[in-house]
Amino acid sequence: MAQLLIVYHTRTGGSRQMAEAAAAAARDETQTVLKRAEDAGPEDLLAADGYIFCAPENLAALSGQMKEFFDRCYYPVLGKIEGRPYAQMVCAGSDGENAARQTARIATGWRLKEVQAPLIVCTHAQTPEAILADKVIPEDELDACRELGLALGAGLAMGVF
């Protein structure tokens, strides 16, 4: 059975909710492994057939912990995971575009195959209090995360990627 790896980082819970929603839906289709960025490593990437990367945007960039995951794993898997499918989700306070671009550049270096445009959930958190507060992702936004997880899981199960 194909394996989907979902790697996420969160500080305020938004990205965790998104990753859990995608994982729950993907489990109906394929073996799914959900790991926090700080707990995931090269061996997890090598064992998986496809990926979802989910992170918050912090200060208009990919979160440091997610970037650290990519830094730790980049060279150990370089040349070993080409062509595998991936998608990404970003939990952002404003636009999320730069964090998505950063992840896409890393995935391009690994020669991964993007199978869906980035899913960006905007919380509109603009004050220090709102930015630091625990997030609650609305159900319709979580539905989009579930759809992404289901689609990637189904695609892996059917061998279409």
| Domain CATH number, residue 107 | 3.40.50.360
Q: At 134, list the tokens.
A: 């625990």
User: In the predicted model, what is the mean pLDDT of residues 74-102?
Assistant: 97
pTM tops 0.75, yes or no: yes
- Expressed as residue numbers, the domain containing 89 is 3-158
pLDDT at position 22? 98
Confidence tier at 6 by pLDDT (50, 70, 90): very high
Domain total in the chain: 1
Do the beta carbons of residue 41 and residue 75 sit within 8 Å? no
pLDDT at position 68? 98
